Structure 1
Amino acid sequence: MNGGLISIQEAITSLKPSERKVAEYIINFPEEVLNLSIQKLSQRTEVSEATIIRLARTLNYKGFQELKLRIAGDLATKSSSSNHSYQEISIDGSVDSFIANVSNNNIQSINDTISVLSKEEVEKAIIALGSARKIALYGIGASGLIAQDFKQKLSRINRWCEAAVDYDTQGTISANLEESDVVFGISYSGQTKDIIHSLKVAKDNGAKVITLTKYGSNPVSELADIKLFTSSLEKSIRSGAMSSRISQLNVIDILYVGMTSRNYEESVAALERTRKAVEDLKKHV
């Protein structure tokens, strides 16, 4: 059980001033915090005990004790790892450094996402997607590519879905969704206005809302019935949203495998049909 420090780092800019004060203390003195009671931490940071509890709940933990357990897991993982941080990618670097640093950051992003990804929310998402009449996938820019990738996967296992990567299409689809449908909004920042508005329309029509954003409170995730988070503390060079894209794709793959395993025989049959159809098509091209 880990992810405490990662979740704090991801959410710190969106925290209230009093919560941020506690968060910064934890980041600076994690080992010390493990040995402090909530009363002692309250005294050290000069905030109320209620603020500390509120911080833990903002991070989606039950309370201070769970947050401490997560931090302890982080420290144990860090001590057993020789490379537990994102690497700066310099434009003046060598090809060797590009290979090493980009690969390291992508691996780190996936590991950190595992730390902040709720097993319960993943389970809910798999069930909701598997039982939906229609699935609408929304993303803009790089997130639109993630939506299109998920559509391709779901289509192969015979799930009705549509990937909309522009506002007009998203708005049109949202207007016709119903209670038996699911809308899946993808936005790394959680601030994309077109996604926010489209999700609101879908939610007003009764559709279940699933979101995939970076960790922490944001306008997109606040609309969700099911919240999925990724972690990606990217360095200054952000060419095409590198590690954040990798962590998003990893979550999509998790959902796809979960859906396939729940309806294994039907999924395998659908995969075989689509494989054969593509092969037959190639013969006539």
Structure 2
Amino acid sequence: MSINDNILIKIRDMKHSLTPVEKLVAEYVLENLEEIPHLSIKNLAQQAKTSDASVLRFCKTMGYTGYRSFIVSISASLGSMEEETRDQYTDIQPGDELPVIISNISRNNIKSIEDTLSVINKNEIARAVKMLRQSNRIAFFGIGASGLVGIDAEQKFSRINKMCHTYTDGHSQLTAATLLEKGDVAIFISNSGNTIEILDALDIAKKNGACIIAITKYNKSGLADRANIVLSISTPEVTIRSGAMGSRIAMLTVIDILFAGVASAEYKSVKKYLTKTHNIIASKQRK
């Protein structure tokens, strides 16, 4: 179950990776939200120009056991519609004044985190924390902005004496994946979930028995399909102007959650490492 379940965000993020028939249902739902709670499955199928079975399949794709639970979730999400409309993502515009930029970027980052809480599954987080605690070593894989998230993760987990490293280019990723074994954890970070280099390394790591954790956008993708554990994020990149700002913030938040989960669960044993690393850095800052 998601931490702050919001079906509207799930449909928005998943829409472009649905089958053509499921996409018809998704588009009709998003365009006619107010009437959806009052429609039977047959009525919705007729309005979306599809079948009852297709509507039910769409509901299951979105993570619901049936049509009734889907409708209940829609009704609950409608309550936050006014706030959602007021707080949309804002792209970079030519000539924006600095105060506008400060406000827009701050709101975008806040919304990225809030929307991620609507799609990330707390049970998957618990499974990921458990695997990280049991791991012999941890390998982070990411390219571009996702690679920067991996570097941040390595810095954090190194502080609690976890054997880990980040690989940010295709060749080193293939080499690292080849050397992974059962008992190791490989965390693949990719917003799209379809980066070729990431998928190539994933296939090798999985074949070697490593546990695969994916941090990726909430949609259907090669990465989400092949991972053992999927930690979803929600951050639409508005256009090419905004780059990977939203996804980076969301991914960094997921890394922070995993780190805090492991550190909290093992606090008695890792406290000494946190203290040592804090003290050595603090001593250098005083000089």
Bin of the TM-score, shorter chain as denominator length:
over 0.9
Alignment partner of 1:217 is 2:185: no
In 1, Cα distance between equivalents of 2:78 and 2:135: 40
The TM-score with structure 2 as length reference comes to 0.93
Aligned counterpart, 1:129: 132
Helix, strand or coil for the counterpart of 1:137?
strand
The root-mean-square deviation of aligned C-alpha atoms, in Å, is 1.8
In 1, Cα distance between equivalents of 2:37 and 2:86: 23
Report if aligned partners of 1:2, 1:69 keep a CA contact under 8 Å in 2.
no
The TM-score with structure 1 as length reference comes to 0.93
The alpha-carbon deviation at position 30 of structure 1 amounts to 1.3
Q: What percent of counterpart residues are identical?
A: 38
In structure 2, the gaps of 5 or more residues are: none
Aligned counterpart, 1:157: 160
Alignment of 1:1-285 (within 5 A): 2-79=5-82, 83-280=86-283
In 2, Cα distance between equivalents of 1:16 and 1:195: 24
The alpha-carbon deviation at position 92 of structure 1 amounts to 1.7
The alpha-carbon deviation at position 46 of structure 1 amounts to 2.5
1:31-66 deviation line (CA, Å, top 9, x unaligned): 211122222212222322221222222223333333
In 2, Cα distance between equivalents of 1:177 and 1:217: 26
Letter in 2 for 1:117: I
In 1, Cα distance between equivalents of 2:67 and 2:129: 29
Report if aligned partners of 1:214, 1:232 keep a CA contact under 8 Å in 2.
yes
In 2, Cα distance between equivalents of 1:63 and 1:135: 38
Report if aligned partners of 1:184, 1:210 keep a CA contact under 8 Å in 2.
yes
In 1, Cα distance between equivalents of 2:76 and 2:92: 28
The alpha-carbon deviation at position 71 of structure 1 amounts to 2.4
Report if aligned partners of 2:139, 2:167 keep a CA contact under 8 Å in 1.
yes
Report if aligned partners of 2:214, 2:230 keep a CA contact under 8 Å in 1.
yes
Helix, strand or coil for the counterpart of 2:80?
helix
Between stretches 264-273 and 152-161, larger displacement belongs to 264-273
In 2, Cα distance between equivalents of 1:221 and 1:10: 14
Letter in 2 for 1:92: G
The alpha-carbon deviation at position 167 of structure 1 amounts to 1.3
The alpha-carbon deviation at position 281 of structure 1 amounts to 5.7
In 2, Cα distance between equivalents of 1:69 and 1:152: 42
In structure 1, the gaps of 5 or more residues are: none
Between stretches 240-249 and 38-47, larger displacement belongs to 38-47
Closer/same/farther in 2, CA of residues 243 and 80 from structure 1, 3 Å limit: closer
Closer/same/farther in 2, CA of residues 179 and 62 from structure 1, 3 Å limit: farther
In 2, Cα distance between equivalents of 1:109 and 1:279: 32
Letter in 1 for 2:156: K
Helix, strand or coil for the counterpart of 1:220?
helix
In 1, Cα distance between equivalents of 2:169 and 2:107: 33
The alpha-carbon deviation at position 122 of structure 1 amounts to 1.0
Between stretches 225-234 and 39-48, larger displacement belongs to 39-48
In 1, Cα distance between equivalents of 2:182 and 2:69: 35
Report if aligned partners of 2:91, 2:241 keep a CA contact under 8 Å in 1.
no
The alpha-carbon deviation at position 139 of structure 1 amounts to 0.2
In 2, Cα distance between equivalents of 1:273 and 1:114: 33
The alpha-carbon deviation at position 181 of structure 1 amounts to 0.8
In 1, Cα distance between equivalents of 2:37 and 2:105: 33
Closer/same/farther in 2, CA of residues 210 and 105 from structure 1, 3 Å limit: same
Between stretches 65-74 and 238-247, larger displacement belongs to 65-74
Report if aligned partners of 2:214, 2:229 keep a CA contact under 8 Å in 1.
yes
The alpha-carbon deviation at position 84 of structure 1 amounts to 2.7
